[in-house]
Amino acid sequence: MKSGETVLRFSGVSKRYFLADRAVDALRDVSLDIAGGEFVALTGRSGCGKSTFLNLAGAMDFPTSGSVAIDRLRTEKMSAAELDAVRRGRVGFVFQFFQLLPTLSAVENVELPLQLAGDRRPRARALEALELVEANGLAARLPHQLSGGEMQRVAIARALVHSPSVVLADEPIGNLDSESAAVVMRLLRRIADELRTTVVMATHSLESAAVADRIVALRDGRIETVSKGV
Ligand SMILES: Nc1ncnc2c1ncn2[C@@H]1O[C@H](COP(=O)(O)OP(=O)(O)O)[C@@H](O)[C@H]1O
Ligand SMILES: [Mg+2]
């Protein structure tokens, strides 16, 4: 999708979970358009709906009502096979606890999304992605031989390697020291600026949210305010 076009569109999205006999409204009537190459930070206290937003944005789950579109493709209209293709091809995820496979080296972890997409010679692209996050020296290491900041850089390379339309990062600096967090924020900013890949990041940190183009504050599942970052 070209830079500037809408990559993610939430139209009147509500998400209700059921826990035993109790209904939880995780998102309430959320409408938001996010453009190609835009960096959006989602803020708000724990339980306000940030992770739910990211899961819906990545076609990992569906709205109870309303519509979510990725590259103009509406997730609620898709077959299981189409959803699979969207998740594999158009979305990259970054998690708070990195989620690297412990028995695979850094470069093998980065190769996984390409292998899932049927690429039998993923090494060159995986090394390129590692270079982008300044981690090519770490390619042969296992996750337990990496610091938290290094693991997150490798995880970002894995999220990017298949050139997705959007990178969804759920509290990506929540488990990092301030120096590593600054490196990760700089990388996410570069991904939006240089690759023109859309980035949506959930964070508790108002300081890191300020690095984004727009800051969307959620409260009890609703958009409370939308403000400009950098
Ligand atoms: N699978 C689930 N089943 C039931 N309730 C859930 C589920 N996932 C999230 N919730 C609830 O939805 C609300 C929003 O959660 P979440 O999106 O994880 O918030 P955040 O990421 O901002 O902390 C919370 O009240 C949470 O308890
Ligand atoms: Mg969360």
pLDDT in tens, 15-52: 999 988 899 999 999 999 999 999 999 999 999 999 99
Spatial separation of the C-alpha atoms in residues 116 and 181, rounded to whole Å: 29
DSSP helix/strand/coil, 136: helix
Question: pLDDT of 87-110, one tens digit each?
Answer: 999 999 999 999 999 999 999 999
Give 13 Cα–ligand 1 centroid separation in angstroms.
Answer: 15
Q: Is the pLDDT of residue 1 over 90?
A: no
CB of 50 closer than 6 angstroms to any ligand 1 atom: yes
Question: pLDDT of 144-161, one tens digit each?
Answer: 999 999 999 999 999 999
Spatial separation of the C-alpha atoms in residues 147 and 165, rounded to whole Å: 28
The CA-CA-CA angle for residues 4, 6, 7, to 5°, reads 105
Question: Any idea where the domains of the chain sit in the sequence?
Answer: 37-54+89-228
The two tokens of residue 32 are 């938001």
Question: pLDDT of 58-92, one tens digit each?
Answer: 999 999 999 999 999 999 888 989 999 999 999 99
Q: Which CATH superfamily is domain 37-54+89-228 in?
A: P-loop containing nucleotide triphosphate hydrolases (3.40.50.300)
CB of 107 closer than 6 angstroms to any ligand 1 atom: no
Amino acid at 59: A
Please report the pLDDT score of residue 76 as a whole number. 87
CB of 19 closer than 6 angstroms to any ligand 1 atom: yes
For residue 44, which atom of ligand 1 is closest to its CA? 22
The number of beta carbons lying within 10 Å of the beta carbon of residue 127 is 18
The number of beta carbons lying within 10 Å of the beta carbon of residue 202 is 26
For residue 27, which atom of ligand 1 is closest to its CA? 14
CB of 155 closer than 6 angstroms to any ligand 1 atom: no
Q: Which of 10, 9, 11, 13 lies closest to 221, judged by CA?
A: 13
Cα–Cα distances (Å) from 39 to 33, 47, 50, 97, 188, in that order, read: 12, 22, 15, 21, 8
Spatial separation of the C-alpha atoms in residues 43 and 51, rounded to whole Å: 10
